[in-house]
Amino acid sequence: MKPAYTSNSTIYRVVIDKDLEHPDGVALDPEDGLMFFSDYGGRHPRIERASLDGSDRVVIVHTGLIRALALSVDTVNNILYWSDYGRHTLEACNYDGSSRRVVKRINDTDVTGMHYYQTFRSPAIRLEVALARGGLPKK
């Protein structure tokens, strides 16, 4: 696996390439040295957490997912947010997968990206939606 734009392997490093069918979303917490990623392949879609070097890989969400397409992190409160493209939900959980909750149902909208950010007054989540009426192709 390599970036599509270069064959120069000195500028990238693959840290996880095993047991992935269709990796999709990714979010990084460089302060805690963590990455979160989703895989919607097969019959077991999931969200995993690992160290930035790919070690200490663990599944944190594995039930009730269809396609966790967009992931974002609140690094202050250690909360992972994701949009499930198939369930039309914006969801959240703690970094260890506990306290999972639906933040918002987003019917008739295909969320394709998300960014959590903190403002002076309050936190906010910015959603990006698929522009085409049909959105992204379903698996």
Cα distance between residue 117 and residue 114, in whole Å? 10
139 confidence band (pLDDT: 50, 70, 90): very low
User: Which of 2-11, 77-86, 129-138 reaches the highest mean pLDDT?
Assistant: 77-86
Q: Is 115 helix (H, G, I), strand (E, B) or coil?
A: strand
Residue 130 pLDDT > 80, yes or no? no
Amino acid code (one letter) for 48: E
Once rounded to an integer, what is the mean pLDDT over residues 58-73?
A: 93
Tokens of 112: 């394709």
Identify the pLDDT of residue 121.
Answer: 61
Q: Is 81 helix (H, G, I), strand (E, B) or coil?
A: strand
Cα distance between residue 40 and residue 33, in whole Å? 24
Cα distance between residue 103 and residue 82, in whole Å? 10
Greatest distance between any 2 Cα atoms in the chain: 45
Identify the pLDDT of residue 133.
Answer: 39
Query: pLDDT tens-digit profile of 25-63?
Result: 999 999 999 999 999 877 789 999 999 999 999 999 999
Identify the pLDDT of residue 134.
Answer: 46
> Percentage of the chain surpassing pLDDT 90?
42
Average pLDDT of every residue of the chain:
82
Tokens 């693959």: give the residue: 14
Residue 135 pLDDT > 90, yes or no? no
Identify the pLDDT of residue 111.
Answer: 75
Tokens of 83: 């949009």
The b/e string for 88-123 (b: 16+ C-beta within 10 A; e otherwise) is: bbbbbbebebeeeeeeeebeeebbbebebeeeeeee
Tokens of 30: 């460089």
Strand ranges across the sheet with 68-74: 68-74, 79-84, 89-94, 101-105
> What domains can be seen in the chain, in order of their start residue?
23-129 (2.120.10.30)
Q: What pTM, to 2 d.p., does this model score?
A: 0.80
